[in-house]
Structure 1
């Protein structure tokens, strides 16, 4: 992925900032710069930038449980601040920024300013050579057309870069997210959909279509469906049931029908993103899924949601191809990997 060329700017130096990275710091630092420049800032406090680094990685760490690697302290910082500031994993990003920019808690401030040791000067190292003090000094006059100058408590964006950053903001963010995705995928080789877990809020899509175009057919045929977790009888009443992800959405990051089932609505809120026991619940899950498949196929063999089972059963034509072992061998690794990444199991 290439950046927009400019005759007057050393874009090649900017493009090389992610060439050698052992942590996510540079990615989140640059995203913070882009956001704040878009908001009209040119002299930007480091406190604001460090706060944005935390808020931009908040959901990826707390909700999606993506690992940043052992050397990376952002995930540790995010988890610590979550507890220190009594925030929630689904906290609004603007609130996170406001809290971090204004808190007087010495622990939080210390965590934020840990990133001052290396991040601000190493980011512009492609423009300079030397150590921290040398880079700070060389940046003062925007030598070599560097992106910003460094002060003790802030950075000053080089005026020659502002127009480029604003007009190419989307491309620059995409460039940053693309490189961050590659970095994190290496550290999470078995975790699905990494790109959407770093550039996505936790607001979920509505499951209304899956309800009305798929599960409603099953309810109409059976009259009621037994919740696999509570064993309560569910009827087609949105106040009493919810469509739930068997493997948590926070891990799979999709709404494919083979992972969705109706469950007791009151239980759904307590289950949250916890993992179900395969030994205890998979058989019930499989039987409900197979029954639903048979019913929907009998009503409309071209129902678009039937195609989503092809990711598990590539040769699926009818219920005879709905294989128990193949299904289980698809679900079990997802549960295991999610557990290894920090998702907890439901309590019996």
Structure 2
């Protein structure tokens, strides 16, 4: 495993998708500790990304950046008849769990297609920088898909893509590392996300406290 490459996953970031995608992978792997995660479905990752975005968007009213479509997606869900979730005045972890369940039961095909169009490919681009140098943007996704499979055992990218394009398959060694180093990796990715959102919201202080609901004792 190449930890140096892992540290470059968030290079050239123009929206929140990479941070949310990686944090979602971490959460799902962590929740399934002791089990073989193997395939992570795009729909499941979309649910987790939207769940993580809920509090900073609706409660903290943070900007996610001009190119980010997640706030628009969340607004659309709340105005639809599909998401049976009434946001409480004070959000708790139990509320987030219920939101996650409700999202999983909602028709998210269009949102999943939109969110997963680029981010699963661009997140692991640092694993293949040499092979992708000078490649036209329109061919990047296909090239990364091929490289992730061809070099899965030798280069050991974080994951490769299932043949039906329904999700990603985590490399077993990375799965073990993500699970055993969950807290360390979560803190790293979380603070990278904080830095990104701080740049998007320069007039707002203490961004970190605005991303997750307060713990209710």
TM-score range, shorter chain: 0.7 to 0.9
Specify whether residues 112 and 88 from structure 1 end up closer, same or farther in structure 2 by C-alpha distance, changes over 3 A only.
farther
2:10 to 10, 15, 18: 18
Kindly name which structure, 1 or 2, has the bigger radius of gyration based on alpha carbons. Answer: 1
Match of 1:136 in 2: 145
1:196 to 205, 209, 213: 209
Larger RCO, structures 1/2 (Cα 8 Å, 6+ apart): 2
Match of 2:157 in 1: 146
User: TM-score normalised to the size of structure 2?
Assistant: 0.83
User: TM-score normalised to the size of structure 1?
Assistant: 0.53
Aligned positions, number: 193
Match of 1:264 in 2: none
Match of 1:42 in 2: 38
Match of 2:63 in 1: 67
Q: 4+ runs of 1 displaced by more than 6 Å?
A: none
Q: Is the 8 A contact 1:50 1:113 kept in 2?
A: no
Match of 1:178 in 2: 191
Match of 2:121 in 1: 121
1:28 and 2:24 matched: no
CA distance in 1, matches of 2:47, 2:69: 14
Q: Is the 8 A contact 1:69 1:187 kept in 2?
A: yes
Runs of at least 5 residues in structure 1 that lack an aligned partner in the other structure: 1-8, 206-348
CA distance in 1, matches of 2:168, 2:119: 12
Q: CA deviation at 1:58?
A: 0.5
Q: Is the 8 A contact 1:58 1:89 kept in 2?
A: no
1:239-318 equivalent positions in 2, closer than 5 A: none
Q: CA deviation at 1:162?
A: 1.6
Specify whether residues 163 and 176 from structure 1 end up closer, same or farther in structure 2 by C-alpha distance, changes over 3 A only.
same
Match of 1:89 in 2: 87
CA distance in 2, matches of 1:42, 1:197: 33
